[in-house]
Amino acid sequence: MKKTTDPIRSRILEFTIIILAALSAALVVRYMAYLGVVSESFVLPINSVIVLIGGYLVIRIVDRMIERIVGPTLGITRTRGVKNLFQVIAAIILVVFIFAAFGVNLTAALIGAGFLGIVLGLAAQQVLGNIFAGLSLLASKPFEIGDRVKVATSSYGLTGSTYAHESEPSGFTGVVQDVGIFFTHVLLDNGIPAVFPNSVVIGALIINYSKIAIRTVRVRMDLDKKADYDKFKSRLLESLKKYDIIDAERSIVEIIDVGPTTYQVVITVWAKSESEETIKTFVIREGTKVQEELSLG
């Protein structure tokens, strides 16, 4: 318990120091203006800068406190959502406070801006859309930070699924690194980091491989007609039993096409794995080994 409370106490101490430092700086500026060292017209801008810097530091400290206090209970993903919501609200309050310090009515200013206000409002739609989409993602939890997912969306050009992937939808596959205020960060399987606007992710098909309990994986193979199909089938299913993540009892082998010299077979296995490629490797390796044994026999 001491390890948890000590960092929180240090954050509270930092928070107190920043508040006192900001108040002291504001008083120093006011006193310098009283002495005539600083012009009265500079007092408000300087104090606003002090408030801006102090507010930013306070937001960072509260962020860490939220992570320490809420994190163990809600988990990393929901904690990130709470932090994002706090950052948005705190930033709005800070901006409104600074405008109020200058005596500017923010609502009246936006209404009075006329055409410029409309243009800015339309431009802000995308920004606000990403913010609310990010909060929706964190609230609905279609995935957690650290999950391996596929983002299938029409917003970006993708090549359609090919034979090797059977009916697998095309998309961007990788591990979720972060869900921010505006963007979702995914490290793709090829090692390239990708950044998706939250508004795109909220409207995309999300396939979460990390939540898979058991799935089917299909593999096609060409079987020489000289090899006995029934022996190939029984030996392959028997050889797959050595893999704990494969349910060989539920797996099947079927002939789907016949060529001049080969049968084309489809091997459908049930497996407890988020990685399709790993299962395919096991099946192809065992299938090739069984076929070679039958050919030699």
Of the candidates 156, 185, 184, 153, the one whose C-alpha atom is nearest the C-alpha of residue 169 is 153
Whether residue 223 sits in one domain with residue 204: no
User: Tell me, what's the pLDDT at 284?
Assistant: 92
Extract the tokens encoding 290.
Answer: 């069984």
Q: Look at residue 121 and tell me if it is in a domain.
A: no
Give a yes or no: residue 49 inside a domain.
yes
Residue 187: the pLDDT is: 94
Q: Is the domain of 106 the same as that of 160? A: no
Average pLDDT of the segment spanning 39-44? 68
Q: Domain containing 159: what range?
A: 148-210
State the Rg of the chain over Cα. 30
Residues 222 and 292 in one domain: yes
| Residue 140 resides in a domain | no
Same domain, yes or no, for 16 and 88?
Answer: yes
C-alpha atoms less than 13 angstroms from C-alpha of 188 in its C-beta half-sphere: 9
- pLDDT greater than 50 at residue 1: no
One-letter identity of residue 215: R
Same domain, 103 and 164: no
Residues 147, 175 contacting (CB under 8 angstroms): yes
What's residue 266's pLDDT?
92
143 lies in a domain? no
- Segment 108-122 shows an average pLDDT of 55
Please report the pLDDT score of residue 57 as a whole number: 78
Task: Please give the share of the chain, as a percent, with pLDDT higher than 90.
Answer: 20
Give the pLDDT confidence score for residue 158 in this predicted structure.
64
Count of the separate structural domains present in the chain: 3
Q: Give the Å distances, CA to CA, from 230 to 56, 238, 247.
A: 71, 12, 19
Which pLDDT score is estimated for 196? Answer: 92
Domain end position, chosen among 61, 84, 112: 112
CATH number for 269: 3.30.70.100
Q: Do 241 and 276 share a domain, yes or no?
A: yes
pTM of the model: 0.61
Q: Which two tokens stand for residue 267?
A: 């091997």
Select, from the ranges 23-37, 107-121, 253-267, the one with the highest average predicted confidence (pLDDT).
Answer: 253-267
- What pLDDT shows up at residue 105? 62
Same domain for 222 and 186: no
What's the full length of the chain, in residues? 297
Looking at the predicted structure, is the pLDDT value of residue 162 above 50? yes
Say which residue the tokens 């921010």 belong to. Answer: 180
Residue where a domain stops, chosen among 210, 243, 262: 210
Which carries the bigger pLDDT value, residue 295 or residue 12?
A: 295
User: So what's the pLDDT on residue 282?
Assistant: 92
User: For all residues of the chain together, what is the average pLDDT?
Assistant: 78
135 assigned to some structural domain:
no
Q: Which of 194, 210, 226 is the last residue of a domain?
A: 210
Mean pLDDT score, 13-41: 68
Residue 277, classified by CB atoms within 10 Å of its CB into exposed (0-12), middle (13-18) or buried (19+), is exposed
Compute the distance between CA of residue 293 and CA of residue 288 in angstroms, rounded to an integer.
Answer: 9
- pLDDT at residue 116 is higher than 70: no
Q: Please report the pLDDT score of residue 110 as a whole number.
A: 55
| Residue 73 CA: distances (Å) to CA of 45, 256, 294 | 42, 52, 57
Residues 15 and 99 in one domain: yes
Note the pLDDT tens digit of each residue in 48-100: 777 777 777 777 777 777 777 777 776 777 777 777 777 778 877 777 777 76
| 14 shares a domain with 108 | yes
**Average pLDDT estimate for 222-234:** 87
Task: Select from 156, 245, 249, 252 the least CA-distant residue to 195.
Answer: 156
Rounded distance, CA 194 to CA 32, Å? 51
In this structure, the answer to whether residues 35 and 77 fall within a common structural domain is yes
Within 13 Å and on the Cβ side, how many CA atoms surround 238?
A: 8
Whether residues 268 and 287 share a domain: the answer is: yes
Residue 283: pLDDT band by 50, 70, 90 thresholds? Answer: very high
> Can you give the pLDDT at residue 2?
45
Verify that 226 and 175 share a domain, yes or no: no
Q: Is residue 142 part of a domain?
A: no
pLDDT, position 65: 78
Q: Let me know if residue 133 belongs to a domain.
A: no
Domain membership of residue 24 (yes or no) is yes
Which has the minimum average pLDDT: 121-125, 172-176, 179-183, 210-214?
A: 121-125
Whole-number pLDDT of residue 25: 72
